[in-house]
Amino acid sequence: MAGEKILVVDDEAVVRKLASHHLVKNGFQVITAEDGYKVFDLLRTHRPNLIILDILMPGLDGIEVCREVRKESDVPIIFLTSKNDSSDIVLGLGVGGDDYIIKPFNPNEMIARVRANLRRHFLPSSNCEPPEKSQLLHFPGLEIDLNNRTVLVDGSPITLTNKEFELLVLLAQNPNRIFKYDHLLELVWKFNDNTDNRTLMVHINRLRKKIEQNPSQPRYIITVRGIGYKLHNSKEK
């Protein structure tokens, strides 16, 4: 994995310069923008492989940028936030962000997160056991097509981000198996640390809103209190 285009969006020139320096040093191509309004043209003309996006920017902030980007692209988005505020982080992940970094950031952590998110986006998961006979996973009211990366709920298609899809597939390929929180974080995000349960909880909540008739009383993704999550298969005893 080398030479991928990274779009760095931050209104602070020093942040753009620091991120660009270390990204280029590690073999990435870099495009920069100082405000959110320029993201959309750059997305279409340069087709970046990943976006590093500041949350707090004047004018169009990172939350609104992410929300609009998600209407046309599932490009991985890593948020930058200058304060360790869970409300900012949860909001960013809730509108479609894949990960986050707290400023001031460690350049080595930034590179690690960029590589991990690229790996998850462009390579098939090697941790999910493939289905034995079919690339279709069927549950009552839920169908997952692994080849086309599509999901039907009661016959209607829904849109999932890359992380949401990978998380759902991992659970669905192992029905009724309980995954611990840290195990899911390791398998889906490829981090043994620095990615906390808030990231997982936000993605689980987003999935439930998309696939469950009543997210507060889920029939598919079940919380095993104090341990983790499982995908319930009512067809299995």
Domain with 16, as residue range(s), is 5-122
Alpha helical stretches, state H, the chain: 13-25, 39-46, 62-69, 86-94, 107-122, 162-172, 181-189, 197-211
Looking up residue 146, the CATH number of its domain turns out to be: 1.10.10.10
pLDDT of residue 133: 43
Tell whether 148 and 56 lie within a shared domain: no
What tokens appear for 62 in the block?
């990172």
Whose tokens are 């808030």? That residue is 198
- Mean pLDDT score across all residues of the chain: 87
Residues 4 and 47: beta-carbon distance below 8 Å: no
pLDDT of residue 84: 62
Residue after which a domain boundary falls, among 122, 151, 172:
122
Residue after which a domain boundary falls, among 68, 93, 122:
122
pLDDT of residue 191: 62
**Better-scored residue on pLDDT, 71 or 10:** 10
Q: What is the pTM of this model?
A: 0.63
Residues 145 and 151: beta-carbon distance below 8 Å: yes
Determine the Cα–Cα distance for residues 125 and 61; give it in Å rounded to an integer: 32
For the chain, the domain total comes to 2
pLDDT band at 207 (very low <50, low <70, confident <90, very high): very high
Secondary structure of residue 136 in the 3-state scheme: strand
pLDDT band at 42 (very low <50, low <70, confident <90, very high): very high
Determine the Cα–Cα distance for residues 88 and 215; give it in Å rounded to an integer: 22
Tell whether 13 and 116 lie within a shared domain: yes
Share of the chain above pLDDT 70, in %: 88
Does the pLDDT at position 235 exceed 80?
A: no
Question: Of 84, 88, 98, 114, which is closest to residue 7 (Cα–Cα)?
Answer: 114
Share of the chain above pLDDT 90, in %: 58
Please compute the mean of the pLDDT values over residues 16-24 and round it to a whole number.
97
